[in-house]
Amino acid sequence: MKYLLLFALICNGYLSDVYCQETKRLVHSHNDYEQRVPFFQAYAQEVYSIEADVYYSDGVLLVGHDKKDLRAERTLQAMYITPIINLFKQNGGKAWLKSDKTFQLLIDLKTSTEPTLSAVVNLVKDYPEVFDPRTNANAVKIVITGDVPSPANFEKYPEYIFFDGKTDTEYTPQQLQRVALMSMPFFKYSQWKGKDRDVFEDEEKAKVQAEIDKAHALGKPIRFWASPDGVVAWSALSEMGVDIINTDHIEVCAAFLRGRK
């Protein structure tokens, strides 16, 4: 019964970012900048969420997983912000010309919140038609993860900046409105490798399910990072109710989820 009630709440808008179809799940392009063609590879699959790790360096946001990977030409602006702005211009104010779907850009702050987050704000503030859902319902949602400010400081940033949440953090109703999703480390609850569904131990599975239920009780979709990344895992996690599937295999995962009945 509680799952029927939850599904009703979802369909009434409490999980506005999750498609109201029983088996529909969304794709998160994990460490997207490491793909063969960053951004455009995920964009071509119309994924819901795209992740970029950023380091603040001399006033510029550089993209990379580790400092050794950073290169002057690989900036957040060049790899993500400018292409997104250009696509919105081409497509009449939306991400895809023949679709009203939207997506989020998950920006992982690898350097301290400040000045890194203010640098992100400066990149997008002049384009409300592209990055502010209050101006354009089709806008890209900017979501901050990594070195996220404390919930008490959410209000210091523009309302179009959203944050990655944790199920074990307490939020006021106002703070919760700024949380776009809940992201939790899979290994905290389970050591399952996703190779065989039979070895997903009941006790560990129950712990994962509890986190899913916590997120949904707060009206938020959930993503597990560092989770098993293959067909067996995608299927199992989808059936358990994980809303956003974390993957490094964009095309395969997107095709698999599109083909699920």
pLDDT at 239 over 70: yes
- How does pLDDT run across 145-188, given as a tens digit for each residue? 999 999 999 999 999 999 999 999 999 999 999 999 999 999 99
Q: What is the mean pLDDT of the chain?
A: 91
Confidence of residue 112 (pLDDT cuts 50, 70, 90): very high
Q: Which residue type sits at 235?
A: S
- How does pLDDT run across 8-60, given as a tens digit for each residue? 333 333 343 333 334 479 999 999 999 999 999 999 999 999 999 999 999 99
Q: Is pTM beyond 0.75 here?
A: yes
pLDDT at 255 over 60: yes
In order of their start, the domains of the chain are: 22-259 (3.20.20.190)
pLDDT of residue 195: 84
What percent of the chain is predicted at pLDDT more than 90?
86
Beta strands in the chain (DSSP E): 26-29, 49-57, 60-63, 104-109, 141-146, 161-165, 179-185, 222-225, 244-247
Instruction: Give CA angle at 74 (69, 75), nearest 5°.
Output: 120
pLDDT of residue 260: 75
Residues 6+ apart with CB under 8 A from 207: 189, 190
For tokens 């956003």, the residue is: 244
Confidence of residue 126 (pLDDT cuts 50, 70, 90): very high
Confidence of residue 261 (pLDDT cuts 50, 70, 90): low
pLDDT of residue 16: 37
Can you tell me the mean pLDDT for 201-228? 97
pLDDT of residue 64: 96
Q: What does the alpha-carbon distance between residue 1 and residue 208 come to, in Å, rounded to a whole number?
A: 20
pLDDT at 1 over 90: no
Confidence of residue 218 (pLDDT cuts 50, 70, 90): very high
For residue 170, what is the DSSP state? -
Neighbour count for residue 2 (Cβ, 10 Å): 9
